[in-house]
Amino acid sequence: MSWLVVAGFLIFFVGMALSIALHELGHLVPAKLYGVKVTQYMVGFGPTLWSRRRGDTEYGLKWIPLGGYIRMIGPLPPKPTDDPNKLRNMSTGPWQGLIETARQASLEEVKPGDADRVLYRKLWWQKVIIFSGGPAMNFLLAFVLFAVVLMGFGISVAKPVVGEVSKCVVTVAEQQKGKGCTPAHRPTPAALAGLRVNDKIVSFGGKPVNSWDDATVLIRSHGPGPVAIGIERDGRPMTLNTALIGQDRPSLDDPTKLDKNVGFLGVSPVFVVERQSPAYVVGFMWDLIKRTASALAHMPQKLVGVWQAAFGGAERALDSPQSVVGAGRLGGQIAASAIPLENKVAGFIQLLAGFNLAVGMFNLIPLLPLDGGQIAGGLWEGVKRGYARVRRRPTPGHVDIAKLLPLTYAMAIVLVVMGTLLIYADIVNPIRLPG
């Protein structure tokens, strides 16, 4: 294995560890602000590699860098009949016994003088802020890192200027087989129209063209048939006429699908690197959030594809989920690639930004033990108390998430199985960058 691959892998893991540390800091700061006693702040899992105690909190690193946590006392409320400073006998029944064992362990952490520092006694909105802090930190990191790439390095942007004119019409199937032009292939509409490299497309079918996206939409939606193309050549306006043909082309929304019989001209654009505005970063982030949410909604189907890639030798889809091991391997590929150093740095930053966005979105799933489950519990407590206040009823007790522990443990098992599958797939059949 190339030392560049190893270096890229390690660089990504350092960035990932810093991201995890900041995620947990997003929980730690509001927890301490609202007076919750935090006994541990740890990056990683397993045996402790290093730690140091400051006040009530032990800060440390653990050997397995696959996550992190902060430990807050009193996450589970006692039963209404319980004395929070005393233990009670365990109830019978496997699930009830599990719940009561966890409840007792939670109460054992509460020392004399800690009654007002337990998590469950905090106001519902304070609990929501505490558990939202981690994902919020991931979103902030993602935004800052994407801003560095988009505003600092810039991105390649397609301009409505002809960069290449295809000489003949080659179908998608022929392109996939590596076939090129032969005397049997007909010329493209662009070649017949006399389009040249560096011609700027200013209108299409009488409609103005301000970007390459405009040109693409107009060409495809026009379909087969005659059309007038307004261009500028060497600063002089010209109008060219041609007849588009209908072709099956990869969908703009989903390249794995084909759009049937769309208009085809036969040109490709000029690409230039441009730095973007903050508004562009916001729009870029929003688009990624929507796509990530869609990917999470289709996670079961995507995991089937990961299983087939891991155990059946199927091709690993570029958009399939991956573990931190897989992301680290992508970091190694970026480091070992032949692209300029500036592009490598931008690639690393963008990879880490995508990791933070994915972690933030995943943690918002409203299921325990994820942050989203805790947030949902806090919001439900707020709804109950608001309803009771409106109806002038007694204030209800705190939401008892201990009752959801069986579901929490089941979800934890699912997460472990999913993580193991992804790590295995990332070792035996990882995602590989094109080219």
List, in order, residues 6 or more apart from 64 with CB less than 8 Å away.
Answer: 44, 45, 46
Q: What is the pTM of this model?
A: 0.82
Could you identify the residue written with the tokens 């979103």? Answer: 139
Higher pLDDT, 412 or 85: 412
What pLDDT, on a 0 to 100 scale, did the predictor assign at position 203? 94
User: Span 311-316, mean pLDDT?
Assistant: 85
- How distant, in Å, are the alpha carbons of 75, 101, 102, 169, 402 from that of 96? 17, 8, 10, 70, 10
User: Span 22-38, mean pLDDT?
Assistant: 95
Residue 316's pLDDT band (cuts 50, 70, 90): confident
Token representation of residue 210: 């301000």
pLDDT at residue 277 above 50?
Answer: yes
Q: What's the rounded Cα separation, in Å, for the pair 17 and 68?
A: 9
What pLDDT, on a 0 to 100 scale, did the predictor assign at position 338? 82
What pLDDT, on a 0 to 100 scale, did the predictor assign at position 175? 66
pLDDT single digits (tens) 71-117: 998 888 876 554 545 444 444 455 566 666 666 767 777 888 888 89
Q: What's the rounded Cα separation, in Å, for the pair 126 and 398?
A: 13
What pLDDT, on a 0 to 100 scale, did the predictor assign at position 89? 46
DSSP per position, 107-170: HHT--TT-GGG-GGGS-HHHHHHHHHHHHHHHHHHHHHHHHIIIIII-EEEEEEEEEEE-SB--
Residues annotated as catalytic are 24
Continuous segment of H or E residues that includes residue 276: none
Q: In this structure, are residues 299 and 320 in contact, taking their beta carbons and an 8 Å threshold?
A: no
Higher pLDDT, 362 or 338: 362
DSSP per position, 190-215: HHHHT--TTPEEEEETTEE--SHHHH
Task: Please state the φ and ψ torsions of residue 34, each to the nearest 5 degrees.
Answer: -95, 10
Residue 255's pLDDT band (cuts 50, 70, 90): low
Tell me the CATH number for domain 156-274. 2.30.42.10
pLDDT at residue 152 above 60?
Answer: yes
Token representation of residue 35: 């007076």
Q: Which residues pair with 52 in a beta bridge?
A: 59
Domains of the chain by residue range: 1-154+277-435, 156-274
DSSP H stretches of helix in 205-311? 212-222, 278-297, 299-311
pLDDT at residue 199 above 70?
Answer: yes
